[in-house]
Amino acid sequence: MSGGTGSDVTTDIQQLLLSRVHDIPDFPKPGVLFKDLNPLFADAAAFAAVLDHIASRWEGKVDMVGGIEARGFIVGTPLAQRMGVGFLPVRKAGKLPGETISQTYDLEYGTATVEVAKDACRGKRVLLVDDVLATGGTASATAQLLQRAGAEVAGLEFLLEVAFLQGRALLADHEISVVAQA
């Protein structure tokens, strides 16, 4: 789902994914409806189908898959393996050894800083992946980070978009795809 239309196959994938999202009210703080994708990750066949769907969309168009700690690692590592490209870990502050570049951003429930190793993605076409697109703060900060690190952000892919938070508005300069919207 990139522009809001979809084939029957896409609809099947959307339904499959949505059937494996657990809504948790007031987590991690009051007023947030947390979208828990652990039921998808726990279902090998459903998760594989979703990963195959994403891989077919980006195959041949990227040199690396970048995943945002922590849930982006769950999605990004198996996706990179499927696509036959390397995985780029985008980590929260203070976790990476060596020289790093960092970017701070606001979250729906706090603030955070992401970091990448200084020379890990220079000149590479990177597909940035995460489980959820909410306010867009994490993804937008990470896209800026990768560009500052010399990468081309070839696109961004999310399993689930929390549409009412309008995170896409922060990512208007990028190609975005989401498997499903909630």
Ligand X SMILES: O=P(O)(O)OC[C@H]1O[C@H](OP(=O)(O)OP(=O)(O)O)[C@H](O)[C@@H]1O
Catalog residues that contact ligand ADE under the rule CB under 6 A.
Answer: 32-35, 108, 132, 134, 162
Strands 100-107 and 110-117, bridge-based pairing: antiparallel
CA distance 167 to 139: 9
x/- letters, 76..115, toward ligand X (CB under 6 A): -------------------------------xx---x---
Q: Which of 128, 137, 72 has its CA nearest to residue 104?
A: 137
Distance CA 4, CA 133 (A): 15
Residue 37 is classified by DSSP as: -
Contact between 70 and ligand X by CB under 6 A: the answer reads: yes
Catalytic residue among 69, 108, 157, 161: 108
CA atoms within 13 A on the CB side of 41: 16
The stretch among 2-10, 41-49, 117-125, 129-137 that binds ligand X (CB under 6 A) is 129-137
Q: Does 167 bind ligand X (CB under 6 A)?
A: yes
Please indicate whether residue 71 is annotated as part of the active site: yes
* Binding residues vs ligand X (CB under 6 A): 68-72, 107-108, 112, 130-139, 167
Residues annotated as catalytic (active site), given as ranges: 71, 108
